[in-house]
Amino acid sequence: MSYSKIIKQSFQVSFNFNLIFTSKIFKVDNHILLDLISNHSTIKSKAIVVVDNGVSKAHPQLKESIINYFKQYNNAIQLNGPILEIPGGEQSKNNEHYIKLILEKVNNFNIDRHSYIIAIGGGAVLDMVGFAAAIAHRGVRLIRIPTTVLSQNDSGIGVKNGINYFGKKNFVGSFAVPYAVINDDSFLSTLDERDWRSGISEALKVSLIKDYNFFQWIENHIKALNSRDKNVMNELIYRCADLHMKHIQNSGDAFEQGSSRPLDFGHWAAHKLEQLSNYEIRHGEAVAIGIALDSTYSHLKGYLSKPELIRILDCIINLGFNISYNQMTDEIIKGLEEFREHLGGKLTIMLLKSLGTGFEVHQMDENLVLASIGYMNEFSSEKITL
Amino acid sequence: MSYSKIIKQSFQVSFNFNLIFTSKIFKVDNHILLDLISNHSTIKSKAIVVVDNGVSKAHPQLKESIINYFKQYNNAIQLNGPILEIPGGEQSKNNEHYIKLILEKVNNFNIDRHSYIIAIGGGAVLDMVGFAAAIAHRGVRLIRIPTTVLSQNDSGIGVKNGINYFGKKNFVGSFAVPYAVINDDSFLSTLDERDWRSGISEALKVSLIKDYNFFQWIENHIKALNSRDKNVMNELIYRCADLHMKHIQNSGDAFEQGSSRPLDFGHWAAHKLEQLSNYEIRHGEAVAIGIALDSTYSHLKGYLSKPELIRILDCIINLGFNISYNQMTDEIIKGLEEFREHLGGKLTIMLLKSLGTGFEVHQMDENLVLASIGYMNEFSSEKITL
């Protein structure tokens, strides 16, 4: 034999955090943040705050409220340095400049591994700040305050972060668990119509692969969602977040060392579509199309019944999503290989066998994908059940 | 109450890897690497290789052997692109340039999360490549082949990586578990005398806090170690690595979320000393001094008996380490606060209560630290037992 000895290493690491639902987190009588970061000793907890500038524009009092909150409790918590504003959306992830800005703040304001970075914003800003927090001192405590439907029910409550590199989405990033996530519903009121709607597609996604009752509930609340009923949206976010977090908890592969990605139902086409549209199509909008595509494929392949497919497509369209875009060309097929490459290992795609039940395949019939696009276009243009 | 609902997230992630001891890993009849990365399917496993240029200089046939090895087994494994050479030592960590070079190779040569980055070199190069591997696609499989005593028994077998930033050691980095580590003893033969000796201090460290029998074994093998007995060194590396890995396995805090760092015995002063000497003192040499300092302190504070201290100091000096340096000034004291800052939370320092038994304190008497330095200087200059 060529070797003499082996030492086998094997250990587990436990991760815990709370997702807290609240309203007006920086109102002085809201003690959630204070209780979360105060260390109940004579040493003050230090924090720096990073805000998505889309959020600070929509909430002009926000920065003052934050400063005032820390002043009010300055015997226990301490805001270090000025609040950092970062342009919102994908642009915050396209440039490592912002990562460096945050590392500089960590260095200049003595943020150590038991101090806090509080990030307030949409999914893109949270992804970028999360990556900076994960690599500074090998991990500073991160508190995410997601401000969109999409980040409150999906991207902001998980364990991933990342930035784009070489023009590729999330080419650089890590798995890192936040210290806590706070879903504050007061940020939802100022969302534009597209951002309000966008995040609903992730709820639809998780309902279709895991929870038929939740799908029915969404079907029954389309009108309330379209008329921006806050309580109904809070309920949708809670149920979606709960299913998402339970999946991470029970998957046995929270850091995605294998090739299976149930939560990426509809995402292979969505990623490619975002890219083809030069990110004019927002993530949630692309996911709605991706769900429609993989559901249609599931039907044409014989896995999903026609009435079930029609309920899905109707639901998507009635929520106000388009399922027909001119970027839906043959190019979309390339998304399959790019998806496989990003995950590594063999292609693994989630399809539907019924409403609420997903299953995985390792091969996709490209002609049937193209046929599915044709089916969707026809469905969409005729607005009739075929 | 200010909040309505909480979702508690809680999960565990399992990590496993093997540390394999071998000789001549790239000899064609050594199947270890082939067995490790071949995926036993029709799809070839892709790898890129990064080599410390100090190693490739000392082993001029190495690159050819690697290329030949992959050629020999090209039905199962595939070397993508040319072998990348990186300057060895701390300079590889001082510049993010090398991180970008590796990310470029990952991108250009289609390295996905199930492909391999094989890193061959000393601790600094492994730290740097490890960080690049950890953040590319949120983690590409990393195989470390450490080539120094220090990296084979300590830095190369753990779960940390990092680069220097803002002039601060490991300011940026992550916790990431390698896919495998291969300790190949044929690399040890070309080490210069300082690098051969340096890594012994980490074995001494772990013996003093955890294993009296191992300390005795080191005392009894000083002569063999000084005369570069390869079998004795292999035994020292194995025992040290085993204690180190068992500590990570059993600490309950592999990713260091708390403030306790038993394996950092002697390291608060060592880090500062490296910095004060502008890295002229190598890490292992600085650790030897740090061990001497915290052992002397343990004695002067009344925890450790004088005969025990003298055995430690004698062992260090007889191994060929200096314990007296002109950089050992009052400046060293600043290392305490810097150590606390890097870890976060409260100061936690490991001291000795006997040979083989460490314990933690949360406060250090600065005057007694200075007195300990005086004691060491005197001991060293008189070379007599005080």
Domains, chain A, in order of start with CATH, read: 18-190 (3.40.50.1970), 193-385 (1.20.1090.10)
**Is the confidence metric ipTM above 0.85 for this complex?**
yes
A45: left (phi over 0), alpha (psi -120 to 50) or beta: beta
Which DSSP state fits B94?
Answer: S
Q: What is the pLDDT confidence band of residue A3, given thresholds at 50, 70 and 90? A: low
DSSP string computed for A226-245: HTT-HHHHHHHHHHHHHHHH
Give the pTM.
0.95
Cβ proximity of A50 and A125 under 8 Å: yes
- Our measurement of the distance from residue B15's CA atom to the centroid of its chain's CA atoms, rounded to an integer in Å, reads 19
Candidate from B7, B27, B259 with C-beta closest to A245: B7
How many Cβ atoms are within 10 Å of A256's Cβ, its own excluded?
A: 20
- A104 to chain B, closest Cα gap in Å: 8
Q: What's the pLDDT score for residue B383?
A: 63
A135-149, A175-189, B353-367, B371-385: the lowest-pLDDT one? B371-385
Whether A261 contacts A348, CB under 8 Å: yes
Q: Is B174 exposed, middle or buried (0-12, 13-18, 19+ CB in 10 A)?
A: buried
Alpha helices, H only, B30-153: 32-37, 53-58, 62-72, 97-108, 123-135, 149-153
Contacts of A115 in chain B (CB under 8 A): 344
**CA–CA dist A157, A248 (Å, integer):** 10
Q: Of A31, A112, A255, which is closest to B2 when you measure between CB atoms?
A: A31
B61 CB contacts (<8 Å, ≥6 apart)? none
* Average pLDDT, integer, range A11-15: 96
Radius of gyration of chain A (CA): 22
Chain B neighbors of A139, CB-CB under 8 A: 174-175, 255
Tokens of B131: 């960080």
Chain A with chain B: Cβ pairs closer than 8 A: 210
Reported as a single tens digit per residue, the pLDDT across A99-130 is 999 999 999 999 999 999 999 999 999 999 99
Residue A133 to residue A138: CA distance in whole angstroms = 8
Q: Are strands A3-22 and B3-22 parallel, antiparallel or unpaired?
A: antiparallel
B-chain residues near A256 (CB < 8 A): 113, 138
Interface mutation target, options A11, A105, A175, A179, chain B, most CBs of B under 10 Å: A11
Task: Determine the residue of chain A that is closest to B8 in CA distance.
Answer: A18
- Mean residue pLDDT of chain A comes to 94
Please tell me which residue of chain B has the smallest CA distance to A44.
B345
- Tell me, what's the pLDDT at B60? 97
The answer to whether residues A233 and A202 touch, using CB atoms and an 8 Å cutoff, is no
Q: State both tokens at B302.
A: 């009344």
CB atoms B9 and A249 under 8 Å: yes
Nearest CA in chain A to B106: A171
Phi (first) and psi of residue A294, to 5 degrees: -70, -25
**Cα–Cα dist A169/A268, whole Å:** 12
| Residue A21 to residue B4, Cβ atoms within 8 A | yes
Task: Tell if the CB–CB gap between B342 and A113 is shorter than 8 Å.
Answer: yes
d(CA B14, CA A261): 18
Successive 10-residue mean pLDDT values, chain B, 386 residues:
81 97 97 92 90 97 98 96 95 93 96 96 97 97 98 96 92 97 97 96 98 98 97 98 96 88 92 89 95 98 98 97 83 90 86 97 96 94 61
For A343, name the nearest residue in chain B, comparing CA atoms only: B113
Per-residue pLDDT at B305 = 98
β pairing state of B349-354 and B357-361: antiparallel
> In sequence order, what are the residues at sequence separation of 6 or more whose Cβ sits closer than 8 angstroms to the Cβ of residue B119?
B49, B50, B125, B126, B129, B130, B133, B142, B143, B144, B145
